[in-house]
Structure 1
Amino acid sequence: MIIIAGKLWVDTADRDSYLAGCSKAVEQARAAEGCLDFALSADLIDPERINVYERWETDEALARFRGTGPDPEQAARIREAELRKYRISGVEAPYPERHARSRWSHLSCRSRRAVRAPRRSLPTHAGRPPPREPDPRQRPAPPLASTAPR
């Protein structure tokens, strides 16, 4: 597996139009044989930065798609680029599995629930917070049964 990752810098005023101009290339890449993922995204902090992430099955698949690179108009808009090619020999879960579910699976479950059904408002109990259940650790322990013979 091959990963191309890094960042591009363009003028702040030009970043959104640059990304919009890349949408067709992203669609073509994702549809290309051997492409596992392809993303260009605006950085959340730096208004000039574009994050690049591509994942390909083989060098050949990457070369078939890439051809000569970006068109000259887009290439002229890139002020600076820092991209690296990574060769991946194995893939595994990012964190050891401790349960049957993935450590991060709750994120996708929550987002699916939020999309499927809006949250219902809880009763307000006349403006007061709902009553809380007592903490089971604070309940008095039951009396111990006597083990003495009768």
Structure 2
Amino acid sequence: MSSNKVIIAGWFTVDASMRNEVVEIHEDLIKRARRAPGCIDLAITADPVDTTRINNFEFWQSEEDLEAWRAIANPPKEITPILNVEMQKHEIKKSGPPF
């Protein structure tokens, strides 16, 4: 496996009436992930423009840390149907200041 940092980024959509509930049921997962070894950041948030969209961002020190987290993550079992998904994993070979 690679020692590159890893970003999982994207979004998924659910029925607008269920969006805030779906975000809320992930609160425990987010808190636990942020304490997990190798987690630089993790956020699952309601999109401010699209009432059906939930944004997902994960930043991990390594693929190994991400896989270790996935083995124990225990995500919410039952959430409303996901309508669409656009999510990608990115291996970071180089980073620097944004400006």
TM-score range, shorter chain: 0.7 to 0.9
TM-score by length of 1: 0.59
Q: Which has the higher contact order (CA 8 A, sep 6+)?
A: 2
Number of residue pairs aligned between Structure 1 and Structure 2:
94
* 1:89 positional shift: 1.0
Q: From 65, 72, 79, give the equivalent of 2:77.
A: 72
Q: Does 1:61 align with 2:65?
A: yes
Amino acid at match of 1:70: P
Distance 1:91 1:60 in 2: 19
CA 1:69–1:7 in structure 2 vs 1: closer, same or farther (change >3 Å)?
A: farther
Output the TM-score relative to the length of structure 2: 0.87
Task: Report how far residue 91 of structure 1 moved.
Answer: 1.3
Report deviation, 1:69: 6.8
Residue deviations 1:69-126, cap 9 Å, x none? 734313x53222111000001111111xxxxxxxxxxxxxxxxxxxxxxxxxxxxxxx
RMSD of equivalent CA atoms: 1.5
Structure 1 unaligned blocks of 5 or more = 96-150
1:1-150 mapped onto 2 (5 Å cutoff):
1-67=5-71, 70-74=75-79, 77-95=81-99
Letter in 2 for 1:84: Q
Higher CA-based Rg? 1
Q: What are the Cα deviations for residues 43-79 of structure 1, in whole angstroms up to 9, with x where unaligned?
A: 11110000111000111111111137734313x5322
Q: Distance in 2 between matches of 1:79 and 1:59?
A: 28
What SS does the aligned partner of 2:32 have?
Answer: helix
**1:66 aligns to what SS in structure 2?**
helix
Query: Which amino acid in structure 2 is aligned with residue 53 of structure 1?
Result: F
Gaps (5+ residues) in structure 2?
none
Q: Which amino acid aligns with 2:45?
A: S
More strand by share: 2
